[in-house]
């Protein structure tokens, strides 16, 4: 029993020391490589989509877009056999189609050149290899007929559809950011290196709009300092105190998603949207490069989705995992009946505004709060089921919790403790090995003495 007990003790010591060595190494590595200098932000962009790369290499005359199939594989539409072979060699699935991207975009150019009809929208349906033209209930029979003539002249691959409701920017009706210009949802925190801002929808209000996070106007968020709408749909609200405190998107019930970079939406991709009216909702990207003719003007280059939205969700974030994709622009329908929602791609907005996402975890003094993965998953499911309104960008507030354990481990101040833990564990491993070897030597000498006395 004594020998067995000593073996258990030795094994426990070795395992504990090895665990400490690993933990110390993680603390040092994350603190040295993962934590930015004070006051800076690090952008970790999502990996380039391989389907988009193949499309770019083959060109618009030989391809007709890319999407994610129902099996999760990337599909690339091609117009010839050699292009299909190239796609397959890249490990992707090829699908032969009759009309190239050049054909489809020529049709959308013809639609754009026709007299503008408010309440209409069009986009490229890659899986169907068609251009889809939508018209809401506000479009008259005469306008519908004229638009149909343009569509027929553009090509047989242009499909006309009527849809319920009205295509409108989703401004009214909810917190968390409010002004005399309307009510919207915060999107993503961004920075230009000197000051921090909230990225939201451009239709939410003109430059100079003053925004608050409380309905009684007691807590000022900031003021709109840049705006583009129509044409595109994005704006910047500069924080009144000059800085953001978080890199997370709230998902309701205390959960959040940490934003780690930007990406481009792909057709078929599963996405989530967070908004202050209808909470967290999910759906799929149905088209990219969409054009919408709102009553206020035309907006181009939008992401079209099956995610529902309602007034007040405007400006809210569209994301997939930790990747920022867009901010809510407008649409039709609601979250009871469903509908189509359009989003301004976040990459285009960041480039035009000369800013980048705040994505790096800051020190605990900034008050950033991040839920654990388990808590976030629970909150996501709960918010999706209940339409929790406590969603959107996590805005600064007093009394926020300290950063999560992972963020604390990544802080620069943990380099010293990490080295200490690693060093101590290494010493413990060496000592345990030496003690074991010394005992083995003594045992051997006793045995040798007995045998050869």
Q: Which residues are catalytic?
A: 203, 233, 314
Cβ distance 185 to 171 under 8 Å?
Answer: no
Query: Could you give the CA distance from residue 139 to residue 129 in angstroms, rounded to a whole number?
Result: 25
Query: Could you give the CA distance from residue 360 to residue 358 in angstroms, rounded to a whole number?
Result: 6
Query: Could you give the CA distance from residue 22 to residue 32 in angstroms, rounded to a whole number?
Result: 15
- Neighbouring CB atoms inside 10 A of 451's CB total 7
Cβ distance 125 to 132 under 8 Å?
Answer: yes
Is the sign of the CA dihedral 360, 361, 362, 368 positive or negative? positive
Is the sign of the CA dihedral 376, 382, 387, 388 positive or negative? negative
Residue 63 C-alpha from the chain's centroid: 27
Q: Which residues pair with 96 in a beta bridge?
A: 78
Q: Which residues pair with 327 in a beta bridge?
A: 344
CA distances from 134 to 35, 137, 162 (A): 47, 10, 6
Torsion of Cα atoms, 146 then 147 then 151 then 152, to 10°: -20
Q: Where are the alpha helices (DSSP H) in 2-80?
A: 2-34, 50-58
Per DSSP, the three-state class of 245 is coil
Q: Residue 203 has which token pair?
A: 């239709």
Q: Residue 150 has which token pair?
A: 């343009």
Q: Which helix (H) or strand (E) holds 81?
A: helix 81-89
- Neighbouring CB atoms inside 10 A of 224's CB total 23
Cβ distance 356 to 190 under 8 Å?
Answer: yes
Cβ distance 17 to 32 under 8 Å?
Answer: no
């Amino acid at each position: 029993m004594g020998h067995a007990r000593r073996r258990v003790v030795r094994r426990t010591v070795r395992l504990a020391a090895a665990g400490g060595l690993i933990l110390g190494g993680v603390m040092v590595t994350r603190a040295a490589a993962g934590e930015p200098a004070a006051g800076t932000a690090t952008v970790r962009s999502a990996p380039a989509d391989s389907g988009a790369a193949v499309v770019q290499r083959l060109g618009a005359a030989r391809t007709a877009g890319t999407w994610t199939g129902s099996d999760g594989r990337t599909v690339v539409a091609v117009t010839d056999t050699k292009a299909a072979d190239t796609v397959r060699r890249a490990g992707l699935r090829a699908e032969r189609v009759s009309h190239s991207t050049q054909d489809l975009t020529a049709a959308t150019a013809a639609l754009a050149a026709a007299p503008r009809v408010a309440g209409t929208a069009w986009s490229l349906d890659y899986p169907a290899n068609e251009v889809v033209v939508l018209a809401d209930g506000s479009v008259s029979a005469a306008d519908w007929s004229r638009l149909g003539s343009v569509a027929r002249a553009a090509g047989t691959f242009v499909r006309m559809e009527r849809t319920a409701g009205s295509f409108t920017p989703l401004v009214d009706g909810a917190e968390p950011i409010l002004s005399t210009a309307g009510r919207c949802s915060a999107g993503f925190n961004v920075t230009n290196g000197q000051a921090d801002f909230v990225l939201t929808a451009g239709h939410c209000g003109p430059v100079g709009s003053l925004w608050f996070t409380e309905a009684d106007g007691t807590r000022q968020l900031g003021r709109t300092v840049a705006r583009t709408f129509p044409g595109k749909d994005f704006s910047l609200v500069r924080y009144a105190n000059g800085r953001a405190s978080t890199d997370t998107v709230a998902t309701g019930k205390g959960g959040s998603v940490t934003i780690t970079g930007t990406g481009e939406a792909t057709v078929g991709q599963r996405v989530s949207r967070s908004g202050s009216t209808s909470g967290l909702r999910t759906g799929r990207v149905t088209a990219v490069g969409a054009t919408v003719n709102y009553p206020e003007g035309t907006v181009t280059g939008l992401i079209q989705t099956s995610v529902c939205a309602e007034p007040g969700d405007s400006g809210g974030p569209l994301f997939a995992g930790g990747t920022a994709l867009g901010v809510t622009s407008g649409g039709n329908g609601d979250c009871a009946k469903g509908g189509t929602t359009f989003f301004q791609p976040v990459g285009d907005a960041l480039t035009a505004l000369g800013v980048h996402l705040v994505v790096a975890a800051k020190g605990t003094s900034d008050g950033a709060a991040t839920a654990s993965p388990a808590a976030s998953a629970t909150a996501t499911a709960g918010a999706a089921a209940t339409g929790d309104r406590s969603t959107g960008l996590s805005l600064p507030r007093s009394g926020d919790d300290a950063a999560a354990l992972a963020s604390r481990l990544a802080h620069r101040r943990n380099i010293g403790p990490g080295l200490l833990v690693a060093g101590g564990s290494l010493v413990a491993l060496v000592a345990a090995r030496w003690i074991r070897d010394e005992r083995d030597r003594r045992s051997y000498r006793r045995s040798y003495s007995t045998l050869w006395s």
